[in-house]
Structure 1
Amino acid sequence: MKRRMAEIMAVMMVSVFVLTGCSSDEEKKISHFEKGETYFQNGEYKSAELEFRNAIQIDPEFVDAYERLGETYLKLGDPRGAFREYTMVAKLDPENIDAALKLATFYMLGKKTDESREKVEAVLAKEPTNIEALFLMAGLYDLEKNLYEAASVFEKILELDSTQSRAYMGLARIYARQGKLDEAESQLMSAVHLDPAAIKPRLELARFYTGRKAFDEARAQIEKSIELNPGNADLYIILGNFFFQMKQPDEAERAYLKAIEISPDEIKPYMVAAGFYDASGNVDQTLGMYEKALTVKPDDINIMTTMAGFFLKRQQMDEAERYLTRVLEERPNFFPARMMKGEIAVFNKDFPEAIGIFDQLIKEEPRSSRAHYLKGVSHLGKEEMQVAKTSLVKSVELNPQLVKAKMLLADIALRERDFETAQKESAEILALNPKDYRARMMLGNALMAQGKNAEAEVAYKTLIAEKPENPAGYYRLGLLQRSLKDYDGAMESFNAALARNPMLMDVFTNLVLVYGAKGELDIALRACDDQLEKVGDSRVHQAVINNLKGGLFLAQKRTEAAEKAFSRAIADNPDFMPPYYALARIYLSGKKQQKAIDQYNAILAKNPDQAGPHMLLGTIYDMQKKYHMSEKHYRAALEINPQFAPAANNLAYLLSSREDQIDEALNFARIAKEKLPDDPSVMDTLGWIYYKKGLYGNAAQEFSDSLEKLPENATVNYHLGAALFQKGEKERAKSYLEKALALDTTFDGVDEAKRMLSEM
């Protein structure tokens, strides 16, 4: 009996414990929920989020907590989080009308009209007169451009409730799109008369008048709304925006400052004023407004992110990083801040870091056009052209109006000599923005490359008409005229470009070439002397001009004068490569190579720490095919100056023929490319090393860029043809290989070029 009583007592104790535990969990759940409600009402949404989450952890089927958590995420600007929570509400409580309508709204905003319609129709099947569901249905019809049905739904809403101002405004928008402007105005007036002090209807009427360019009427409506709601700072912001749109900056500034005066403890007026000052180019006042906003809300991540963007735009990366660090400490997964971190990595040329960031962002948000675009930019930085194109194409697919991405695609197409694609991309940019100067330039270049000369001429003349002070249009027109042997026209265009900027050596070089084509060598020499005065003390420009003079002297068979001119060019700019080759050719052709070798060795004996003489000796030995000696002098030059680009370039090309030294060759080629990014010889060297490594796409890019500057160079034509052949683009390869053989039959690779052609 005693044993039986003990068992009964034990069971009772367990029951009491279980019941007490359940009661405790229920109390904790309600406590967390009520704390969350208090935080929510006080605008402390992060704390509210934590409390609602705690309640759900105790009771995973707590519908009210999911619903309030969804509202909390909306307040935090996290629509994905809100969507997730409302989905749980709908799953746990299929009869919950509010959750169904929230999900329908999310679907509609995401252009998923079928999913949205399914939710709305389910609500209307239960409640045919549900006003919110009817508004959503009207919005869906509007999205589908079914204006008649949308208008019918708005009319039904007004039949149910004639005080629904949103329905009047919806009808007004429908009528305006149908061109029924008087009817639209009448509907807006009806909305305004329902409640003259209501802000939204009157502002909608103001927008309607602005669209009709009835600016006085629009301003009157905004000011009337201010009169009826004098303490509303947002209305002063709207008035400021109106004045800004009307190009009345003083009135706009006064309105923004009045908004701050009315609501000094709100951040929005400060942020809007900052945007105004930023657009006006007033950096100090912009920063001042941001700092005042941050004083009001010191931990606001949106202010700090905006400030980071402000500094990022001005390339003040340390300041941008400082604010982003604070943001990410508070919100480690905050998407905009991580995007900016990626942008900073791109700016710092830390492309692997940038790609890692954008890959993660794309994984989280696959439809982020900007993330795909910046990933493409990062791959371009790594010279990974094909991967870059894939990312850029995706960014345009997601945002067809992303001009920067289309511009890069057009640029890549030009570099790949895919002129039809370049023409298509640049034409699409111009369709979006007919005044885009760079796009029209690329269009002209693509047309010229395809032999569509009349169309190219129109493009270049349009550039000149749009920006007569920009020399680029004259230069491109001059190149077209020169290619057509319209030498007088070309000279006029080149001179027009130089009148606007005498420091443009590409333009001056082409002008000298036109003089040469006309046989006017003395005039060309006088032009060089005049140009030397115009460029002043710029040794870089003097080097180019003295190199041109050397070429002109050679054409006149004045070898001694040419030698002096080339020597001056090297003295002016030791990094400038052409005069080294010119001098070496003079020595070789005049059988003076040994004398030159002795001369430069004597110079080095007196002063061994000179890279220039080593470079000249290396070039002479290169031309004599004494490669062990040329390598010795190139390496000696680089020991003296590790960044000496001419020696780095030539050594890279020399080493590229050795399979076991190809990586060393690539390192030297990259040194040369960094120092001389626009030198066609450097491009060709880097391209050839890529070719040797089997990176045929990258190689073709470099050869294309080189050929732009050296179109009549047999070696570069052969190299591009070989790269295209290896890529499988044999039709395109054929034209370059044939041109190479037509230009010269002695370049290195002649037999290989013939073999490739025979295989076609």
Structure 2
Amino acid sequence: LPDAAEPNYKKAIDLKATAANPRLALAAFYQARGRYSDAEQQVQQVIAENPKDAEPRIALSKLYIAQGKQADAEQYMKQVKRELPDDPSAYVLLGDYYFLIGDLDRAVAEYSSIYNDHPKDLKVKKNYIQLLILKGRVDEANKLNEQILGSQAQDDDALVYRGELQMHQGKLNEAVQTLQSVVSRNPGMAVAHYQLGNALSQLADLDHAGTEWQQAIQLRPDMIDAYRALADLELQKNDMPGLERMAGDIIRLQPAAPDGYAMRAFSLMGRKQIPAAELDARKAIQIAPQSGVGYLEMGHLNAMQQRFSEAENWYKQALNHDPNSGDALRGLLNIYVAQKQLDKAITAANAQIALSPNNSTFYDLLGTLLVNKKDYKGAETALKKAVELDKHNSDAITALGRVQSTEGAADAALATFNDGLKNNPKQADFYILMGGVYESKHDLEQAKSAYQNALQIKRDDPVASNNLAYLLLQTSGNPDLALDLAQTARRGLPQLSNVADTLGWAFYQKGIYGSAIASFQDAIKLSAKNKEPDSALYHYHLGLAYAKSEQPALAKQHLERVLKIDPKYPDADDVRKELSQLKS
């Protein structure tokens, strides 16, 4: 039985064991069993015997915290700092406590005081830098960090901080270079791998980011932030089983935090496991009623079941607990839109912006609503504000460029995407959108260049592959390259009719008419399946392929269909000419 250990601890005290203080071991034994008074008696005895030793004082602080006596713990830690002013473990105790409970403002203030008292303590200086970074006080952190690197250029901790600071400054490529130099020299440094993953993620290099985060948790299996990053990655990939695994790891590491339960609830919802999802969402609320995450998942759960009134209530509770929650506002707006209450959604978005005026996501959501209302000027204003607040908000940049293009402001759209690329150089989607704008301007060479740039970032991107293939076919480009690109696009987007048509056109240009016919037939079938209007282009292409394969009756049938669908089809004269040749 566990209690049989108590006599052994007491015997060790009688024998005056010196390897580890047996009274502290006995105190820990009492604390684990809720015998706090007995535990405190033992710790106080050690303090009386060793008044200059910080270890028992730290143990007493933890004992107060275990009993929920936060105020007593805080006052005692201040006393420890006064009484042991030259012991590093004593004078950082209070600052570390503030950090652990998430009170960054007091942690920064305390560490500022500690640093002023002990400017030569390198560990204190590094901890202070980290806190300044967390508070966004980039210039102050950078000044202190460069002081360290000025005298110790290869200090890996300081180099990791430099990488973090470069990310805050938008210098993502420099951050990657800085952090890669650290992991090359010190491959066992988990935090360097983690921060390198963050930098790569911001450059949209998600595969390599995931590899770095995995490396971080292999080196430090308790690195909770790396698990959170991997969970977000699984969410972006819509991998619900993967998200559930990561959520389970987070719960294992932090069973008293709500996030893991909320993530697991979301993953279960994604697979329609409603009762289990609700249990986790309610567990998140039970554990942390002050946090918004559990209420958010309950909102998702009810919205999914089209219980809109209940969902509205849960989303509003989530926003009450976290006024900056983009997910909660998005959920609330979505249920209004689902009920065709667009004006109510716009009012709700504006109300939340009034509460949190510096939230880029909120302006992004408002802009999307105004696009739905066809208020393009209002949408442009909102989306510009979203981008101004967060130059890495790729969704807002995309939406802004599309609105400008819709309004006929092609040059403004191109400027938006070019500006976006300065801060997000690995966003292949911006190049793809630029390609579309150039096509609308009939600048096909620039369009091709844009799609090629996209493919340099994402080699097998199906949209860029399809669009570049079609342009090559339209401009007498390399037919072999066009066919390779079209096949890549078809593998990536097998359900899109226009992609099947591009592949068919590539086969046609290569003289492979049987494969061309099969692809054009697929395009027409997919068009019907996707409830798209019957396409004159697809029938035109299929008619030409039948003509080349000496099937005149079928060729005639589809060419006539072209003119029936659209008598003013741009290539109507060519269609009539082809029909005339078939009749002769």
Give yes or no for the alignment of 1:472 onto 2:296.
Answer: yes
Count of matched residue pairs: 453
Distance 1:196 1:501, change over 3 A: closer
Correspondence for 1:696: 460
What amino acid is the match of 1:497? Answer: Y
What amino acid is the match of 1:342? Answer: G
2:222 corresponds, among 386, 397, 401, to 401
Task: Name the SS of the counterpart of 1:695 in structure 2.
Answer: coil
Distance 1:697 1:337, change over 3 A: farther
Residue 474 of structure 1 deviates from its aligned partner by 3.9
Residue 217 of structure 1 deviates from its aligned partner by 1.7
**More displaced 10-residue stretch of structure 1: 431-440 or 388-397:** 431-440
1:64-103 correspondence to structure 2 within 5 Å: none
Distance 1:750 1:300, change over 3 A: farther
CA distance in 2, matches of 1:634, 1:741: 32
1:570 corresponds, among 377, 383, 403, to 377
Correspondence for 1:742: 529
Distance 1:251 1:194, change over 3 A: same
What amino acid is the match of 1:635? Answer: D
1:478-497 correspondence to structure 2 within 5 Å: 478-482=302-306, 489-497=307-315
Work out whether residues 379 and 385 of structure 1, in 8 Å CA contact, stay in contact via their aligned partners in 2. yes
Work out whether residues 95 and 111 of structure 2, in 8 Å CA contact, stay in contact via their aligned partners in 1. yes
1:202 corresponds, among 19, 23, 33, to 23
CA distance in 2, matches of 1:404, 1:573: 36
Correspondence for 2:446: 661
CA distance in 2, matches of 1:362, 1:749: 57
Residue 383 of structure 1 deviates from its aligned partner by 1.0
CA distance in 1, matches of 2:536, 2:13: 81
1:181-234 Cα offsets, whole Å, 9 max, x none, are 42x333322322233899723222222322333222221111112223344455
Correspondence for 1:239: 60
Give yes or no for the alignment of 1:313 onto 2:134.
Answer: yes
CA RMSD of aligned residues (A): 5.0
1:410-446 Cα offsets, whole Å, 9 max, x none, are 3223322333323333333334445554444443444
Work out whether residues 259 and 284 of structure 2, in 8 Å CA contact, stay in contact via their aligned partners in 1. no
Work out whether residues 278 and 301 of structure 2, in 8 Å CA contact, stay in contact via their aligned partners in 1. yes
CA distance in 1, matches of 2:186, 2:225: 20
1:685-723 Cα offsets, whole Å, 9 max, x none, are xxx9746865336979xxxxxxxxxxxxxxxxxxxxx99
Work out whether residues 373 and 405 of structure 1, in 8 Å CA contact, stay in contact via their aligned partners in 2. yes
1:441-520 correspondence to structure 2 within 5 Å: 441-452=262-273, 455-456=276-277, 458-460=279-281, 470=292, 471-482=295-306, 489-498=307-316, 501=319, 506-516=330-340
1:79-228 correspondence to structure 2 within 5 Å: 179-182=1-4, 184-195=5-16, 200-228=21-49
1:417-456 correspondence to structure 2 within 5 Å: 417-434=238-255, 436-452=257-273, 455-456=276-277
Residue 457 of structure 1 deviates from its aligned partner by 5.2
1:666-677 correspondence to structure 2 within 5 Å: none
Task: Name the SS of the counterpart of 1:696 in structure 2.
Answer: coil
Work out whether residues 460 and 476 of structure 1, in 8 Å CA contact, stay in contact via their aligned partners in 2. no
Work out whether residues 277 and 285 of structure 1, in 8 Å CA contact, stay in contact via their aligned partners in 2. no
CA distance in 2, matches of 1:450, 1:494: 22
Residue 286 of structure 1 deviates from its aligned partner by 0.6
Residue 550 of structure 1 deviates from its aligned partner by 9.6
Distance 1:526 1:422, change over 3 A: closer
What amino acid is the match of 2:33? Answer: R
What amino acid is the match of 2:234? Answer: A
Work out whether residues 311 and 320 of structure 1, in 8 Å CA contact, stay in contact via their aligned partners in 2. yes
TM-score between the two structures when normalised by the length of structure 1: 0.49
Distance 1:289 1:209, change over 3 A: farther
1:209-358 correspondence to structure 2 within 5 Å: 209-279=30-100, 281=103, 282-283=106-107, 286-287=110-111, 289-294=113-118, 298-358=119-179
Residue 473 of structure 1 deviates from its aligned partner by 2.2
Residue 547 of structure 1 deviates from its aligned partner by 8.3
Find the structure with the greater CA-based Rg: 1
What amino acid is the match of 1:310? Answer: L
1:373 corresponds, among 190, 194, 204, to 194
Distance 1:343 1:271, change over 3 A: same
1:413 corresponds, among 230, 234, 242, to 234
CA distance in 1, matches of 2:347, 2:211: 49
Correspondence for 1:106: none
Work out whether residues 217 and 223 of structure 2, in 8 Å CA contact, stay in contact via their aligned partners in 1. yes
Distance 1:257 1:317, change over 3 A: same
CA distance in 2, matches of 1:542, 1:345: 26
Task: Name the SS of the counterpart of 2:305 in structure 1.
Answer: helix
User: What residue ranges of structure 1 are gaps of 5+ in the alignment?
Assistant: 1-178, 483-488, 517-523, 552-564, 578-613, 621-629, 667-687, 701-721, 756-760
CA distance in 2, matches of 1:400, 1:644: 36
The percent of aligned pairs where both chains have the same amino acid is 17
Whose relative contact order is higher, 1 or 2, with alpha carbons under 8 Å and at least 6 apart? 2
CA distance in 2, matches of 1:336, 1:617: 45
Correspondence for 1:635: 411
Work out whether residues 233 and 258 of structure 1, in 8 Å CA contact, stay in contact via their aligned partners in 2. no
